[in-house]
Amino acid sequence: MKLLVISSYPEKGQIHGAKTVGVGNYTKATLLALVKANPNLKIEVFAENLGTKESYTENKIEVKRFWKRGSVLSLISLFIESSRQETKTILLPFEMFVFGGLMQTAFALPLLLLLKLKGKKIILVLHQVLGGNISTFAKNPIKVAFLSVIRKTFYSYLVFISHKTVVFEQELKERLGNKSKVVVIPHAVIQEPYLGKNVAREKLGLDKHKKYIFYFGYLSLYKGVLELLNIWDEIDNAQLIIGGGGNPNHMNKPEYKTFVDSVMQKAKEKRVITTGFIPEEQMGYYFSAVDIVILPYTVFMSSSGPLSHAFSYGKGIMLSDNLRDYFNSEDMREALEKSHISIDEVCFDLDKPIKNKLLWSLHNLEKLEGFSKEMCRVRSWDLLGQKYNQLLTEVK
């Protein structure tokens, strides 16, 4: 059985590379799980050029790195090459800006239809499904109105051109109309090796006697990091860490750079630790060292990589009220009930001081850690790799 994958993809030897964001990193993890579930599967990746065109084989996966993000001519070359392949099944991880800006996305849509008409079976892995809160991403009221009108048409089109569409949470399937060709395969959790908390803190120079609350990931408007800093008040013997820097795909935009600078300035005023980009080799130390992983997102449109990392390391979590719909997924809801925690206890309001919520969380770490450990079990890559393999078998 053969599979062609079109995606951004981390550099050789990396999963969480500095030149790629969530889609590329998660794609590589998915393919490694697929190879483990089905060693006879032959996978070829048409990967984004990260600076050098190259071809190589890694972990039994053939990687051909040649297309350039943001280039229409490169997109044409990519889709011509894809249409020529004998392989019928194409896995396409997709988010709004995976090929570049809005122009490149709009250009890619008819090319995807041409692949369908050529007899290709596209498995679309939708990393984001926007709800109604478009104003988070566009401030111009005319643009907001336009995007609101085309949102449903856009997603209906994506589902139409796909043979199957994968989403990570039940809520995202419901936003797509709960259609039969939409499949929920949860965002997987890697079962990470245990690192002692004190050992990790010593490595990072953190105080062994403090409690640490951790925001992790690229700084984005929708991730609510500025809102979190605004409601943060100092807590005795506790410290907030902002673990992440600017998204490399957007640092050339003045408006985005201004936002990143404002986050750093606010963090300095609040005496919050900032780390900048955390290399892959240091991630384990940070997640082992902290007590609570916090997600202050202003919009729920995707399943969070940082949340899955929190589950991986069995850490307590706190979610903004905007992420309550996570618990529409049965496994999340059941794990919460099993841990004797209510949704109200793990969620917080971005418009209210967070101190009391944090104090509750720090006093109930055992319950919160139990919830994360259960989610790590039910969303393991071993289980979900089999689900992806089953999906490929059905599509064949």
Kindly report, residue by residue over 93-107, the tens digit of the pLDDT: 998 888 988 889 889
165 confidence band (pLDDT: 50, 70, 90): very high
Q: Kindly indicate whether the domain formed by 2-188+380-395 is annotated with CATH number 3.40.50.2000.
A: yes
Contact 215, 240 (CB under 8 A): yes
Of all residues in the chain, the percent with pLDDT exceeding 90 is 74
Indicate the pTM of the whole model.
0.84
pLDDT in tens, 316-368: 999 999 999 999 999 999 999 999 999 999 999 999 999 999 999 999 999 99
User: 197-378 — its CATH code?
Assistant: 3.40.50.2000
Backbone angles phi, psi at 274, to 5 degrees: -120, 140
Query: Of 335, 329, 14, nearest to 185 (Cα)?
Result: 329
The residue among 62 and 135 whose pLDDT is bigger is: 62
Identical topology for domains 2-188+380-395 and 197-378 = yes
Q: Structural domain boundaries of the chain? A: 2-188+380-395, 197-378
* pLDDT band at residue 22 under the 50/70/90 scheme: confident
pLDDT digits over 269-280, tens only? 999 999 998 988
